[in-house]
Amino acid sequence: MASSFPSTFPSSEQVSSLLKNQSTVVNGASSGVADAPFYRAIGDEVEVFRAAARRGLPVLLKGPTGCGKTRFVEAMAHELGRELITVAGHEDMTSADLVGRFLLKGGETVWVDGPLTRAVREGAIFYLDEVVEARQDTTVVIHPLADHRRELPVDRLGTTLRAAPGFQLVISYNPGYQSVLKNLKESTRQRFIAIELGYPSPEIETEVVAHEAGIDTETASALVKLAYAIRNLDGSPLREVSSTRMLILAGGLAAEGLNLRSAVHAAVVEVLSDDDDVIRALDELVNTVLPQ
């Protein structure tokens, strides 16, 4: 398997200078808040999200697995001072899972708000992750919230809720998973503004991996170099490539004292494929790219 990847990666000194005195970074500016989610902007996504939040516009995030979509939403919710309510889409999800249902409690039937209804009432950010995994007849419930109405019909209560100030709807999906059966309807897409996220530059990705995994920048840079090699394989049989999330997991194992190649084998190679031939080829690539 042939590969190509950037010949220049950031030095330890370059990344260390970026990490210095930072707890979380959004668009290059440190918030100085110890418990804030760490996020490094790769484009104008922060400015676009801020503008959308000011107008109460719904946001569609699209990008590959493990590129930082969820972390981006967490960082923006923290910056805006909004509660974040997250739901992972799945094929068995019903509208009741989002809106709410009647339940028996102590011999009485009581209404329990679903996560979407709670976000609407409280003015929170509601994040529906991997929206295409949910059935299309379920996701249409978000349509009235994603246009000028900003309303949520709750049929079982016979009422319609107006979204509280601060409410914002955010959904995400991986375009690489789209198919005839799993696609985002145009009637849904056109209600949102879209932000595309990808894997960051080697410099930024090295910074993120070093910070999140708690490893030195030299090790983080080696992991990122390997990721670029895997992402640029010619004729790759892989359905997915090495994500930033995978690198952080591998770095975390290395931070616990595991040999780096063993860490990569467990967190990257074995995760990417079950095929013995592919695994052997990836291990050969790892041995070529990673330092002895």
Q: How many CA atoms lie within 13 A of 202 on its CB side?
A: 21
pLDDT-derived band at 177, boundaries 50, 70, 90: low
Quick: pLDDT tens for 193-225: 999 999 999 999 999 999 999 999 999 999 999
Whether the pLDDT of residue 83 is over 70: the answer is yes
pLDDT-derived band at 4, boundaries 50, 70, 90: very low
Distance CA 269, CA 253 (A): 14
Q: Picking from 27-31, 144-148, 238-242, 243-247, which range would have the lowest pLDDT averaged per residue?
A: 27-31
Stated pTM of the model: 0.83
Whether the pLDDT of residue 29 is over 50: the answer is no
Distance CA 142, CA 140 (A): 5
pLDDT-derived band at 42, boundaries 50, 70, 90: very high
| Angle between the N-to-C axes of helices 244-255 and 217-231, in degrees from 0 to 180, rounded to the nearest 10 | 140
pLDDT of residue 87: 95
pLDDT of residue 186: 86
Structural tokens at position 102: 């009647």
Residue 73 vs residue 89, higher pLDDT: 73
Expressed in angstroms, the distance from the first to the final Cα of the chain is: 21
Share of the chain above pLDDT 70, in %: 86
How large is the average pLDDT for residues 170-179?
79
Whether the pLDDT of residue 20 is over 70: the answer is no
pLDDT of residue 12: 44
Q: Picking from 27-31, 46-50, 181-185, 257-261, which range would have the lowest pLDDT averaged per residue?
A: 27-31
Quick: pLDDT tens for 55-70: 999 999 999 989 999 9
pLDDT of residue 28: 40
pLDDT of residue 7: 43
Beta bridge partners of 113: 100
The DSSP secondary structure of the chain, one letter per residue, reads ------S----HHHHHHHHTT-S-EETTEE---TTSPP---SSSHHHHHHHHHHHT--EEEE--TTSSHHHHHHHHHHHHT--EEEEE--TT--HHHHHEEEEEETTEEEEEE-HHHHHHHHT-EEEEESGGGS-HHHHGGGGGGSSTT-EEEEGGGTEEEEPPTT-EEEEEE-GGG--SSS---HHHHTTSEEEE--PPPHHHHHHHHHHHHT--HHHHHHHHHHHHHHHT-TT---SS---HHHHHHHHHHHHTT--HHHHHIIIIIHHH---HHHHHHHHHHHHHHS--
C-alpha of 291 from chain center: 30
Q: How many CA atoms lie within 13 A of 148 on its CB side?
A: 0
Q: At 103, give phi and psi (nearest 5°).
A: -130, 155
Q: Picking from 65-69, 72-76, 136-140, 287-291, which range would have the lowest pLDDT averaged per residue?
A: 136-140
pLDDT of residue 187: 85
Structural tokens at position 74: 């967490």
pLDDT of residue 182: 65
Whether the pLDDT of residue 277 is over 60: the answer is yes
Q: Picking from 156-165, 228-237, 249-258, which range would have the lowest pLDDT averaged per residue?
A: 228-237
Quick: pLDDT tens for 247-262: 999 999 999 999 999 9
Residue 37: other Cβ atoms inside 10 A: 20
Distance CA 260, CA 292 (A): 10
pLDDT-derived band at 10, boundaries 50, 70, 90: very low
Distance CA 241, CA 268 (A): 9
Rg (CA), the chain: 21
The DSSP letter of residue 290 is S
